[in-house]
Amino acid sequence: MSFYIKSLFIAIPIFALLIIVEEIISRVKGIKVNRAIDVISSLSSGNTNIIKDGMKLSIVLISYPWLVDHLTLIKIEPIWAAVLIAILVQDFSGYWLHRLNHRVNIFWNRHIIHHSSEEFNLSCALRQSLSEMVHFGAILMIPAALLGVPAEIFSFLGPIHLFMQFWYHTKLINKMGWLENIIVTPSHHRVHHAINPEYIDKNYGQILIIWDKLFGSFQSELKNITPVYGVLRPVNSWNPVIINYKHLWQLIKDAYHTKNTWDKIRIWFMPTGWRPDDVSILFPLNTINNPYKQKKYKTPASYPFIIWSFIQLNFSTILMLHFFNVIHIQNQISNYIYGGFILYHIFSFTANLDGKKYSTGTEVLKLFFILCLLYNQNFLWFGLDILYSYLIIIYSITSICITFYFSKNFPTDDNYFILGNNG
């Protein structure tokens, strides 16, 4: 089991606890930070990301170990110096990859999920990409390779660097004095997530804010301008699978519909949001021109509906944790099948969050998948006792019935729940 997978068993409970703590403090302070369905969507997105990583659904165009093997000029000593260089290089490369994801049309598809929430809270930090499957960031780590920084350091540092970006996704921490000049703080990152003209495309730093100050992308949070969160073309969905590919699908359609051959090619590499003139006229998109008139995406949700949705989320999390427990003893085909099933489950229940009528059909298909998988495994669910097989079948049948009920009686009230009003 890799260090990344092992670390998730520690990180996930800590993140869950901190999300609950944030909600409690926000209630005490009277600051609204969460909407229940938004939180479910965010946590579901986090699950899709780490399942994808566990399945190893990615292509590495160039790897850091290869760079070390072929480019090392000297081997830096002592180890603390190598670690220090690794930290700086990791953060430097993260800054430029982050900036690239924001500024180029095709790369925005890898990152739109993280900005898709119209709230700003700890749970939205977990909106990580399912669609980022091609990796080339090692090219920015050549300085470390030249100095012979061992690849093992980055294998250990990578997950820690990622997890350290969780804490600053909150409205509850104000400016932090002299630290504002060195590290990325909640204030800096509120600016980054905002769609206000004064804030958009600023503060790409991940741990250190110095890169933004060096490369001209820094913007401090202004007292008279309250950040408005989301994306300029609202995704209008709670389904993380759909959100992950929404921008890519739009690019494909625009490239197909435009009559200009050059536009068909350059659309992929133009600044984020660029569209050919002809398709912009023929197929206009809903775009926010005035952030202060933003209408947040909202679907009605009763108490029972939200509770059931949390149960579905927890079921996906339990399956995911079991998946990670068996991932090292199964063959890769089995891992693809198990991981793919969990991703399908997340797609299905978040379709119900959007009020999609087809969600009952996806639940029926899910039961069919379960029966097929059990048939191929002698009625044992990926190594578990037969009792769990019966429980999964019962759960799936129950899910079909409840989903059918909600699809026919989609709730119309916006009740206040433990994680805030859905409205």
| Long-range pairs, 269-273, Cβ under 8 A, ≥24 | 269/104, 269/105, 269/106, 270/104, 270/105, 271/103, 271/104, 271/105, 272/102, 272/103, 272/104, 272/105, 272/107, 272/108, 273/105, 273/108, 273/232, 273/233
Q: Which amino acid is at 29?
A: K
Q: Are residues 165 and 22 in the same domain?
A: yes
Which of 376, 301, 299 lies closest to 333 in space, CA to CA? 376
Residue 296 to residue 245: CA distance in whole angstroms = 20
- pLDDT, residue 411, reads 54
Query: Is residue 25 scored above 70 in pLDDT?
Result: yes
Write phi, then psi, for 269 (nearest 5 degrees).
Answer: -115, 5
Which backbone phi and psi does 129 adopt, to 5 degrees? Answer: -75, 135
Q: Are residues 37 and 160 in the same domain?
A: yes
Q: Is 245 contained in some domain?
A: no
Q: What pLDDT, on a 0 to 100 scale, did the predictor assign at position 1? A: 63
333 and 195 in a single domain? The answer is no
263 inside domain: no
Q: Is the peptide bond before 65 cis (omega within 30 degrees of 0)?
A: no
Instruction: Give the tens place of pLDDT for each residue, 169-219.
Output: 999 999 999 999 999 999 999 999 999 999 999 999 999 999 999 999 999
Is the preceding peptide bond at 78 cis, omega within 30 degrees of 0?
Answer: yes
Of 195, 214, 233, the residue that ends a domain is 214
Which residues are 301's β-sheet partners?
414
pTM higher than 0.85 for the full model?
yes
Residue 414 has pLDDT above 70, yes or no: no
| Average pLDDT over all residues of the chain | 94
- Note the pLDDT tens digit of each residue in 208-261: 999 999 999 999 999 999 999 999 999 999 999 999 999 999 999 999 999 999
User: Distance between CA atoms of 321 and 90, rounded to whole angstroms?
Assistant: 28
200 and 326 inside one domain: no
Q: Region 261-280: what's the mean pLDDT?
A: 97
Question: Residue 419 — pLDDT band, cuts 50, 70, 90?
Answer: very low
Could you tell me if residue 251 is inside a domain?
Answer: no
Domain end, chosen from 214, 240, 270, is at 214
Do 191 and 62 have their domain in common? Answer: yes
Q: What percent of the chain has pLDDT over 70?
A: 96
**Helical axes 303-326 vs 3-29, angle rounded to 10°:** 160
Residue 170 sits in the same domain as residue 311: no
Residue 356 scores a pLDDT above 50 = yes
| Spacing of C-alpha 70 from chain mean position | 34
| Alpha-carbon gap, residue 208 to 180, rounded angstroms | 10
198's tokens: 């004064």
Q: Give the pLDDT mean for 32-53.
A: 96
Assigned token pair, 69:
């093997």
Q: Is 259 inside any structural domain?
A: no
pLDDT of residue 13: 95
Q: Check whether residue 22 and residue 127 sit in a common domain.
A: yes
Q: Find the helix packing angle between 151-163 and 79-103, rounded to 10°.
A: 60
- Give domain status of residue 269, yes or no: no
- The pLDDT of 7-34, averaged and rounded, is 95
337 with 209, same domain: the answer is no
Q: In whole angstroms, give the CA distance from residue 228 to residue 292.
A: 7
Average pLDDT over residues 17-39: 95
The answer to whether residue 296 sits within a structural domain is no
Q: Report the distance separating Cα 363 and Cα 370, nearest Å.
A: 11
In a domain? residue 281: no
Q: Which of 214, 244, 271 finishes a domain?
A: 214
Q: For residues 343 and 50, what is the distance between their CA atoms, to the nearest angstrom? A: 11
Pair 154, 24 in one domain = yes
pLDDT of residue 137: 93
Domain holding 133, by residue range, is: 3-214
Asked whether 174 and 153 are in contact (CB, 8 A), the reply is no
293-302 pLDDT per residue, tens: 999 999 988 8
Answer yes or no: is pLDDT of 421 > 90: no
226 lies in some domain:
no
Mean pLDDT of 131-153: 95
Q: Please report the pLDDT score of residue 3 as a whole number.
A: 85
Domain count for the chain: 2
Structure tokens at 413: 């009230």
